Amino acid sequence: MAAIEDVPGPGHVLPTGSQGLLFDDDLPTLDEDSGYRGPTACRAAGITYRQLDYWARTGLVEPSVRSATGSGTQRLYGFRDILVLKVVKRLLDTGVSLQQIRVAIEHLRERGVEDLAQITLMSDGASVYECTSADEVIDLVQGGQGVFGIAVGRVWREVEGELAHLPSERAEDDSVTEHPGDELTARRAARRMA
């Protein structure tokens, strides 16, 4: 176990607008054409829309299903995106800086975590540590370094539970049928069709 910022990575830089998956092989097959609009992603992750917008614009967590392509278009976030959003929120709540969170998220993307359910992210408010066993967690706590832990597998289950009752939509579907209460969106769609 080591501080994430101390772990050497492959050293490649992701191009602007490109974001790898945080956890490639650990999640069940998900419908990559379905996603959740910003307000739904915010609700599931427990963040504000302002945070979501900032993190998307700065490349921390970009929507993997559909990016906003101009005025009136909606970003669509996939399950993995929302999982990352919730992990970022938890790290922020512990006092970890956004700069340090960016390093931790990038490290996890590069590393390709093998078993999501066994990962615990520990923090002392300044650094983030990745632990893959109970012994590593105990060693970190005994050494006085970890004061807050995030069991990523548990966050995954929380996100699944939240999203189970929230509306999703298909990426190619720009209609408003899934969001009939959004009057402004309905009017805009009607104008485009006219």
78, part of any domain: yes
74, part of any domain: yes
CA–CA separation, 53 and 60 (whole Å): 10
178, part of any domain: no
10, part of any domain: no
11, part of any domain: no
Provide the residue range defining the domain that includes 51.
Answer: 34-112+154-171
pLDDT in tens, 54-102: 999 999 998 988 887 777 678 899 888 898 899 999 989 888 899 989 9
CA 127 to chain centre: 19
138, part of any domain: no
> CA quadruple 153, 155, 159, 161: dihedral positive or negative?
positive
84, part of any domain: yes
pTM over 0.85: no
93, part of any domain: yes
Number of independent structural domains in the chain:
1
**CATH code, domain carrying 72:** 1.10.1660.10
Can you say whether residue 95 is alpha, beta or left, with left for phi > 0 and alpha for psi between -120 and 50 degrees?
left
Burial class (CB in 10 A: 0-12, 13-18, 19+), 165: exposed
pLDDT in tens, 99-120: 989 988 887 777 654 556 678 8
Residue appearing with tokens 């092989």: 25
